[in-house]
Structure 1
Amino acid sequence: MTRQTIDTDKTTDIQQLYAAQPIFDRKQKRYAIALLNRSGAGVSTLLLSDAGLCDAQLQQLCADISAQSAVYKAPLFVALAADFVLSGRALPLAPDTVVLEPVIPPQPDATYIGALKTLKKQGFRLALHDIALTEAAAQQLLPLADIVRLNVLNSNLADTERYKAQFGRPGLLWLAEPVETDEQFAIFKALGCDLFQGYFLTKSLLVAGKKMEPSALKVAEIISCLFAAEPDIAQLSALLKNEPNIVMGLLKIANSPLYRRTRAVSSVKETVTRLGLELTRKWLLMCAVLSGTSPAAAITVLTRAYTAQHIAQQWQLSAVQCQQYFLAALISGTDLLFDIPSELFLRHVNLHKDIKAAIKGNRGRMAGALAIVRSIERGYALKLAASDAELPYIALYNQQLSDVQQRLLTLE
C-alpha cells in the first residue's frame, strides 16, 4: 500500500467522523469551517474536553483537525470545554488553522481569564458566544475576543443592535447564526455583522428576470447529452471542445490509478470507453459543476444528488428511476450552484416529466426523497436532532458526503 493510498484512506476516515459547515463573509465567500461531530442521530458541536482525553487521543484529534483544515483550505472553529481551558494542556495545532470557541462558565474567575490570556499569547484566535457574556463578564472577556457569535434565535433585532453598539470595537468581528433565510442574511448584514453561519447559502439570492450564465447553460447541455436515451459521444466531444478545464479534469480521472490500465487516454471518446457511461456521467458532471461554482456549493448539491439516487436504490426502484432521482436533486440545487432558479434551468433541458413534477410542483415520490435530503441538510446546518423521517437515511447521507469530498480531493 502506497503512502498516497494510506493518506487517502485516512482522509476518508476523518470525513466519516466529522461534518463541516461553512462560515461565510458579507460577500458569501467562505471564511472558515465549523467542525462538527457525526453520529447516527445527526451532528453536534465538536467539543474538546479534558475529561477522559489522554495525550495520545489529543494528539490524534488535533492531527484530524489539521488534516481537515488542509482539505478545506480554511481555519476551523473548534469548541473548548471549560475544564480543558483550565487544564493548561498544550494544543498541538497551528494557531492560524483554528478559531477556538471556549465554553464560558457562569462566573469566570481570574484563573479562567488567565488561561484564556495564555491561549491568546500563543497566537490563537478566540470566538465567544453572546449568550455567555453577561455585562459584568463582558468587560473582562471581550478584550480577548476576535469574534462574537450572535445567536439569532435567542435575541431580537433591537437587542442585537444595542449589544453591538455597547460592546463593539475596531477589529472585533460579529458572527450571526443560524442564518436560515435570505431576509435574515440581509437584516444582519445591514446591522453590521461580518460573518454568517447557517442554511441561507442553499437559498436563492435571485434577481427577477435573471438569465442563464454560460457556465449553467453548458451544464444543461451536458446533462441533455449525457442522459439522452442514446448519448451521442461525438456531440459530447463537440460540447466540451472549448471547455479545457472540464476535459482536463475528466482525463485526469480516467488516467488516475483508480482506472488506468495499459496506456493513457487522451480524448473524450476514449474516456467514455474506459470508464463506461455511468462513471463518465458521475465524473463529468462533477468536473462541470466544479468549473462554474464554489467547492462548498458543489459539495452540498452533489451530496444531495447522490443521496437521492441511493434512496431510490434503497426503495428498489429501477436504474432509470435512480438516475432521475439524481438529476432532480442536482437540478434542485441550481440556485446554489449558479444563482438561478431550477425552474429556469429546466427550460434548457429535456427531461422526464416526473423530474419536472418533483421540482416545479413538489409532486410525486421523487419530491418526497428530495424533501428528506433537504431536511437532513437543514439539520446539519442548524445542528438539529434528526427527525424520525430522516433517521433511516442519516448514515447514507454521511457516506455520500464523505464520498463527494473524497472525489473532490481526487480532482485537485
Structure 2
Amino acid sequence: MFSFVARQAIFDENMNTVGYELLFRDSMTNRFPDVTPEYATAQIIVEQFLGAPLGRLKEYSAIFVNFPYELLVQGMAETLPKDRVIVEILETAEPTPLLLSTVKKLYAHGFRIALDDFELGETWNAFLPYVSIIKFDVRLNTPEEIRTYIASKGELLKDTVFLAEKVETQEEYACFRNMGCTLFQGHFFSKPVIHSANRLIQNQSITLKLMKEVNADSPDFGKIEALLKQDLALSFKIMRYAQNIVFNARGVKNFRSQSLKDVIFYLGANELRRFVLVSCLTSVNKEKTDDIYHQSLIRAKFCELASARSVGRHSSDDAFIVGLFSQLDSIFEMPMADLIGQIDISVNVTMALKEKKGPLYPYLHLVELYENHNWEEVSALGHRLGFNRSVVAELIKLATKWTNDIPTNAA
C-alpha cells in the first residue's frame, strides 16, 4: 500500500533549490521500471496529485511532470494545479497540429510549458512562443550546438528560461551558466531521491462499474454518486481532482463544495470521464483494502443515517463525508489538517474533522463511542441527538450491512 516517486532537485544559478522533477518508480529501486510513459505519468498524477498530498514539498517549489503525447492531447495536464506544475513535453512527442493546439490551450489557461530533450532546429518553432522553459540535455548536444541554437532564435526565445540538465561537473555548470542557463539539473547537484508514501487503494470492482456508468450515452449522476460513496479512495481523489479543475478554470483556490453530489454536477460528464480515465489507468492491483477502509465506510453510512434521523436535521451528505474521511490521518500517517487542506469540503465538515467540534462532529463521536463499547456515553449522546441506544445499534447494523454488500476487489 505504498506509492513511490523519485524527486530530482532543480537549482538556480546560485545553487538554490527552486523545484523538483518527479520520476516514476514502483519500488525503492532507483530506476525507471518496465512500464509505458503513459502509465508512469498517469500513476504520478493519481498518486502524487490526487492521492498522497504534496504538502511536504515547499509550496513555492515548481513541480516538473513529464507528459507523453497521448496524455497531453487527452487533456490530462489540465487536471493538475497550474500554480505548481510545469508541464514537460517528453522528447518522444511529435510536434503535430493537435499537440500545438493543446499547448496553446494550456498556455491560455496559465500553465507553464517545458520542452524537454527536443531536436534542435526548426521543427518546434511554432511552439516556442508558448514555452516557458527549454531543457537542454548536455549529454545529447554540445555547448556549441546549444549556443548556436539559442543565437539563431533571437526574438522567439527572448522570454524563455534555459535549463541545463544532466550536468555532472563543475566545468559543465560554469560553461552553461555563462551561456545564459539559469536553471540546472543533474548528478553534479543532486541525484534522484526516492520517497515512499502510504497510498489509497481503489476498489477495482467499483472503479470498473464507475467507468461503465460515466461512459454511458446518458450518465446517471445518482448512480455515479452511489458508486463513489462506496469507495474511500475514489471519493477523496475526485474531491482533489475537482479542486484542481476549479482552480484552473476559475482561479479559485478556496472553493468549498458541499457534497460529492455537488462535485459530480460541477464536473459534468466530460470531466467525470477524464477523471475515471486517469484513475482506471492506475487502478489495476491485487491488493485488498484493509479493515480501516471497511470501518470508514461503516462510519460514513452511520453518520449519514444518524444525521437524517436526528433532531438537528443536518446535511446527511456532509455527515457521510465526515465519517468517510475520519481516518485519513491514520491511512496517510499525516495530520488531518494537512489532508483536508487538499480537498474542497464544507465548513461544518472541516470543523468536525479538524477541530472535532461543530454540528456534525457528534455523529462521528457517537460511532466512535459505539466502537469502543462506551455504552453509557452512547446512551447519553444518542439521547441528545434524539434517539436511544437501540436505535444506535440498529443504525450500526444497517451501516454494516450496506458496507458488507459493496463488491470487493477481484482476486
TM tier relative to shorter chain: 0.3 to 0.5
More helix by percentage: 1
TM-score by length of structure 1 reads 0.41
Report which of the two structures shows the higher radius of gyration computed on alpha carbons: 2
